[in-house]
Homo-oligomer: A and B are copies of this chain.
Amino acid sequence: MTPKRWLLQFPPRSAPLPGPSGRPGSSERLMMQPPMLSVTMDGVRKAAERSREASYRLQSMSADSKDRALRAIAEAMNRRRREIVSANEKDLRAAEKAGISKTLLKRLRYDGQKLDESLASIRALIKLEDPVGKVLDRTELDRGLVLERVSSPIGVIAVIFESRPDALVQISTLCIKSGNAVILKGGSEAESTNRILADTISAAIEKVDAGFEDAVQLLSTRGEVKELLRQDDLVDLVIPRGSNELVRSIQEGTKIPVMGHAAGICHTYVHSDADIGMAVKICHDAKCQYPAVCNAMETLLVHKDIAAAFLPRMARSFQKARVELRGDDKTRKHIDAKRATEKDWGTEYNDLILSIRIVPSLEDAVEHINKYGSHHTDAIVTSSAGEAKRFMDRVDSSSVIWNASTRFADGYRYGLGAEVGISTNKTHARGPVGLEGLLIYKYRLTGKGHIVADYVGKGAKKFTHRRIR
């Protein structure tokens, strides 16, 4: 789960930045000019080619080499701790001068404590078994002819992230563990920190094995990103980590598959038979526990038969948290709320604002969610397992939740270990994505001189197709 309004140094340049509450403040816009480095487009193509070359070497890198590389990164980062922190202080000073918000400064900060957290993540990653080369299934096609499906790295992954420098460390190490080459582009406000982190990582892994050369590359300008997104013959997957605008602009601008989510319009539907106390607690958590993130609730749907009993209690709970309520006409008969317009149903507030609608049935709730939602995370509160199943079967979202808060939809809480991101894609990987989202498989067939002609025509050999455990 990713905070949705991270600093973006990406078109549109005039995109609103989060205010101190993590919400976009219209009066606060990006004042800092990114350094306009000269972009050598040819250089980007060459960098992508080097990544592709590196990816071929990484594919067959041993688990031991990869873990030694991770250990070397942790050691080097620890050794260069002072340099790294002081580079970050430089970025922080420049950002402060440029007047960016406290929330953003906090995200930009990479101090000793943050560095220690990175080191802890790396050590956890080393402990995980090698995800590459696992035999996923094995079939005997005929005597002596055995087919295996084996997990393998995707290849070259481009990661476009916002200001948080810890993302650079996290994603690079995930890519190394999974045998992928990675090309990174961070926000320019974290330029100094990102540069020293990338240099530290590259130098450390190349010392372990020359095969790691170009495994981790860092681009520095936006123009380079645009060029990189054109290299669909060299880059296999793009992962944007940042604001919805960042994700959307990347999706629009490339033919490379993009893994992520452009919006998080999450719903909670309170069914007629819901336990009202439970519903109030869940909805309060879903809206208020951290409103600036993608899995926070944006619209509350209420069954008409429970509205009179539920809505006033719910509204009191929201009033305490200063949530602005916007309701349809029926809602406004029960509680004090602004009038919600059609636009509200499709809006991701990322803020203490909530739209509320009364629906005549579970089917109408499902229809509303599939129509206005972003297929991210949606919940139902009901006492009936049957109704819950109907809801969860029909709502077309990456996470469907019964009697719990939408805020649980997150890689850490789901127990995936490291989180690559949350995907609303319908192919490859969906929902919170862990290390396995960086993997694909290949088929490995071993014979003893087998040819297809022997399996064709009269008297042909027959396939056994026997699954081998």
Is B443 a contact of A404 with CB atoms below 8 Å? no
CB-CB under 8 A from A278, the residues of chain B are 448-449
A139 to chain B, nearest CB (A): 5
**Would A404 and B236 be within 8 Å (CB), given that A394-B59, A415-B139, A427-B440 are in contact?**
no
Centre residue among A139, A413, A426 by max chain B CB count within 10 A: A426
Kindly state whether residue A101 has any CB partner on chain B within 8 Å.
no
Kindly state whether residue A237 has any CB partner on chain B within 8 Å.
yes
CB-CB under 8 A from A154, the residues of chain B are 426-427
**Would A443 and B399 be within 8 Å (CB), given that A285-B451, A394-B56, A451-B289 are in contact?**
yes
Kindly state whether residue A357 has any CB partner on chain B within 8 Å.
no
A166 to chain B, nearest CB (A): 19
Q: From B59, B394, B451, give the contact of A404 (CB < 8 A).
A: B451
- Cα separation A380 to B404 with both chains bound (whole Å): 53
Number of interface residues of A (CB under 8 A): 74
User: Could you give, for residues 424-457 of chain A, a 1 whenever the CB lies within 8 Å of some chain B CB and a 0 otherwise?
Assistant: 0111111110000000111111111111110110
Closest chain B residue, CB of each to CB of A445: B401
Q: From B289, B408, B427, give the contact of A428 (CB < 8 A).
A: B427
A278 to chain B, nearest CB (A): 4
Closest chain B residue, CB of each to CB of A417: B465
- Cα separation A426 to B392 with both chains bound (whole Å): 30
A360 to chain B, nearest CB (A): 18
A62 to chain B, nearest CB (A): 10
- Cα separation A449 to B456 with both chains bound (whole Å): 60
User: Could you give, for residues 204-226 of chain A, a 1 whenever the CB lies within 8 Å of some chain B CB and a 0 otherwise?
Assistant: 00000000000000000000000
Is B237 a contact of A415 with CB atoms below 8 Å? no
Is B403 a contact of A446 with CB atoms below 8 Å? yes
User: Could you give, for residues 392-405 of chain A, a 1 whenever the CB lies within 8 Å of some chain B CB and a 0 otherwise?
Assistant: 11101111111111
Is B402 a contact of A449 with CB atoms below 8 Å? no
Is B430 a contact of A428 with CB atoms below 8 Å? no
User: Could you give, for residues 143-163 of chain A, a 1 whenever the CB lies within 8 Å of some chain B CB and a 0 otherwise?
Assistant: 001010000001100000000
Is A155 a contact of B426 with CB atoms below 8 Å? yes
Kindly state whether residue A247 has any CB partner on chain B within 8 Å.
no
Is A442 a contact of B399 with CB atoms below 8 Å? yes
Is B59 a contact of A414 with CB atoms below 8 Å? no
- Cα separation A414 to B360 with both chains bound (whole Å): 50
Centre residue among A398, A401, A455 by max chain B CB count within 10 A: A401
Is B59 a contact of A393 with CB atoms below 8 Å? yes
Kindly state whether residue A90 has any CB partner on chain B within 8 Å.
no
Would you list 25 pairs from A and B whose C-beta atoms are within 8 A, ordered by A residue? A56-B366, A60-B390, A60-B393, A155-B426, A237-B427, A257-B427, A282-B450, A282-B451, A285-B452, A289-B452, A290-B452, A388-B446, A399-B445, A400-B442, A400-B445, A401-B446, A403-B448, A404-B445, A404-B448, A405-B450, A407-B452, A408-B445, A415-B463, A415-B465, A430-B440
Q: Please report A residues at the B interface, Cβ cutoff 8 Å.
A: 55-56, 59-60, 133, 139, 141, 145, 147, 154-155, 236-237, 251, 255, 257, 259, 275, 278, 281-282, 284-285, 289-290, 366, 370, 388, 390, 392-394, 396-405, 407-409, 413-415, 425-432, 440-453, 455-456, 463, 465
